[in-house]
Amino acid sequence: METTEKLAQDPFQAYMESTGLPIYRGHHVADLRTVELAWWPERECNAAFTELAGQEGITEGRITEIPAGKSLPPFRSAVDELVYVVSGQGIATVATDGRPKKTFEWQKFSLFLLPGGVTYQLANMQGDQPARLLHYSYMPLAMSLVMDHELLFNPPHETPDRIYNEDNPYAEAQLKLGRGWGSRNMRQVWTGNFFPDMRGWDKLNNLSGRGAGGASVMMRYPGSEVSSHMSVFPPGTYKKGHRHGPGRIIVIPGGEGFSIMWEEGHEKVIVPWQEASMFVPPDRWFHQHFNLGGTQARYLALHPPPQFYGRSEQVEDRERDQIEYPDEDPFVRNYFEEELAKRGLKTLMPEECYKDYNYTFAAAIAGD
């Protein structure tokens, strides 16, 4: 007689559930500023997890809220953690035993790396309102390999070189030549542990291959496998459909619009977004981003380690990973124009882009 062995629960799922905190699933979080949190005694803050479709088992999304005028307990993790500031301002202190502390100030729209193996502490500088942060890491991957949580959340060995190999590891990022996410080609990449204001960031490169006359910035973090990029594109336009691997969180620093996501051959999912919205394109799902507002739209993508990038950012096989405007489902254009019409707006997409595969948008956004 056959027996069915019950599969073990995913280690990170079990960990999240053990905290008693809310876990948000589905395809998106409408507004990180207002989503409901719960008290986490261990970390002395309100918090919640996200496990959206496409994150499972690969990347962690965690929302924390530092009470007004308070500091969180010092903490050390074995894995790198990216932090995006949803609201508020404060101070981060990073150190290892017996070495001078490194401190820097963060504000709304800041993005910074907390390296694994060092102790950090986050403090809210505002005495009248809480600060909200989005944390991103590959802890689910680590938990699938290391069953002893003590080794992950209180690693016995510190890694001081991550913050002591230069005078100011949290100075503003510097421009270098490097490889962007999943690319074999050298390009301009901003490298550092601290990006002060992703909403105001204007050091951009034109990104003609994705359409819409948009621009982007590629970001790397010294010694880390996580990376990120931000795309900026004009009102009345939308990007080409594309797909890549799982685990990539997208958060919106500014703008209003929506994204369409779909698994090939299946029904489309429409995700509306605004400032502080968050969503995740599932593994190998096509997706497109649409600007319905009157200003530039920005989306910030936080990337998992390289083995999960997928191929689409290289665009080696456009039929495989990118949909050109002449080939897209007519629903896409029609839906976009209908949504604009509801707001009294018209599309700024040129008719030629739907007919000419070689059509190139004029650079609509100036960059360095």
In order, the DSSP letters of 205-256 are EE-GGGSTT-EEEEEE-TT-S-EEEEEEE-TT-BPPEE---S--EEEEEE--
Based on the fold, state whether residues 144 and 110 are members of the same structural domain.
Answer: yes
Based on the fold, state whether residues 199 and 344 are members of the same structural domain.
Answer: yes
pLDDT of residue 368: 40
Based on the fold, state whether residues 135 and 235 are members of the same structural domain.
Answer: no
How much is the pTM?
A: 0.92
pLDDT of residue 7: 45
Q: Is residue 164 part of a domain?
A: no
Positions in the chain whose pLDDT score sits under 70: 1-8, 178-187, 309-319, 364-368
Write out pLDDT tens, residues 114-140.
Answer: 999 999 999 999 999 999 999 999 999
pLDDT of residue 315: 43
Based on the fold, state whether residues 134 and 204 are members of the same structural domain.
Answer: no
Extract the tokens encoding 150. Answer: 């003590």
pLDDT of residue 341: 97
pLDDT of residue 186: 57
Write out the residue range of the structural domain in which residue 31 sits. Answer: 11-157
pLDDT of residue 162: 77
Write out pLDDT tens, residues 271-302.
Answer: 999 999 999 999 999 999 999 999 999 999 99
Number of domains into which the chain is organized: 2
Based on the fold, state whether residues 52 and 146 are members of the same structural domain.
Answer: yes
Q: Is residue 116 part of a domain?
A: yes
pLDDT of residue 171: 86
Based on the fold, state whether residues 122 and 66 are members of the same structural domain.
Answer: yes
**Closest by CA position to 47, among listed 58, 59, 34, 38:** 38
**Closest by CA position to 142, among listed 15, 248, 279:** 15
Kindly give the pairing relationship between strand 227-233 and strand 119-124: unpaired
Based on the fold, state whether residues 148 and 179 are members of the same structural domain.
Answer: no
Based on the fold, state whether residues 143 and 206 are members of the same structural domain.
Answer: no
pLDDT of residue 173: 87
Kindly give the pairing relationship between strand 23-24 and strand 45-50: parallel
Q: Is residue 361 part of a domain?
A: no
Q: Is residue 225 part of a domain?
A: yes
Q: Is residue 368 part of a domain?
A: no
Domain CATH code at residue 307: 2.60.120.10
Phi, psi of 122 (to 5 degrees): -115, 135
Domain boundary residue, one of 124, 157, 190: 157
pLDDT of residue 307: 79
